[in-house]
Amino acid sequence: QSALTQPRSVSGSPGQSVTISCTGTSSDVGDYNYVSWYQQHPGKAPKLMISDVSKRPSGVPDRFSGSKSGNTASLTISGLQAEDEADYYCCSYAGSYTLFGGGTKLTVL
Amino acid sequence: EVQLVESGGGLVQPGGSLRLSCAASGFTFSSYWMNWVRQTPGKGLVWVSRISNDGSSTSYADSVKGRFTISRDNAKNTLYLQMNSLRAEDTAVYYCARRGTTPDYWGQGTLVTVSS
């Protein structure tokens, strides 16, 4: 049960796009289409941004998109806005357990 | 509106026990699998445990297996986490989260501090 691998930090200027990767194995990310992404602002609970690899829950801006190729999932945020600055976590269901990534701090320059 | 409210956190000595509760409202609690997820202050999210909608199936992270027990009372719309043999490394904010495959709604968390 090792954590999924995410970059520790990414950054971008307002209006730009950034992509955060999430690498797992053939037992988790590669085996299930239950990859999700969460946004967490300081002192707040995580908020679901993407479910089932690429589905956006109601109310999440379409600037947020998800994808998966093999054992790696990705979250892309286009048209960066100041309020997007937060920590982002990927998550993969793996049958008898669930894994989270270590988190990526997004800085909007 | 879906609401999850955790309670029961606090300061406990190493080796001690604590029971967390998560009161659910705004949805049909008995229809959903539920999770506990924890977050060490300043660190990332770690999945702890999951329980089926009827309580018949449970699973645990290796780090808590044999020490923690997840349960639920569907009549009271409440999820529980019994934590025994607590260690310093169990210090964290504990969140309950709805839905088994993809936690969608989360509570605000309750802080557990294990220290002498």
Q: Which of residues 5-34 of B touch A (CB under 8 A)?
A: none
CA-nearest residue to A35 within chain B is B102
Positions of chain A with pLDDT lower than 70, given as ranges: none
Nearest to B108 among A45, A51, A97 (CB): A45
Q: What is the Cα–Cα distance from A45 to B50, expressed in whole angstroms?
A: 18
Residue B100 confidence class, pLDDT cut points 50, 70, 90: confident
Q: What is the Cα–Cα distance from A64 to A76, expressed in whole angstroms?
A: 6
Q: What is the Cα–Cα distance from A5 to A21, expressed in whole angstroms?
A: 8
Whether chain A has a CB inside 8 Å of the CB on B106: the answer is yes
Whether chain A has a CB inside 8 Å of the CB on B52: the answer is no
Residue B42, pLDDT score: 83
Beta bridge partner(s), residue A40: A87
What is the maximum span of chain B, computed from C-alpha positions, in angstroms? Answer: 40
CA dihedral (B71, A92, A99, A38) in degrees, to 10, reads -90
pLDDT tens-digit series, residues B37-69: 999 988 899 999 999 999 999 999 999 999 999
CB A92 within 8 A of CB A28: yes
CB A92 within 8 A of CB A70: no
Q: Output the six-digit token pair for B61.
A: 């992270």
CB A4 within 8 A of CB A90: yes
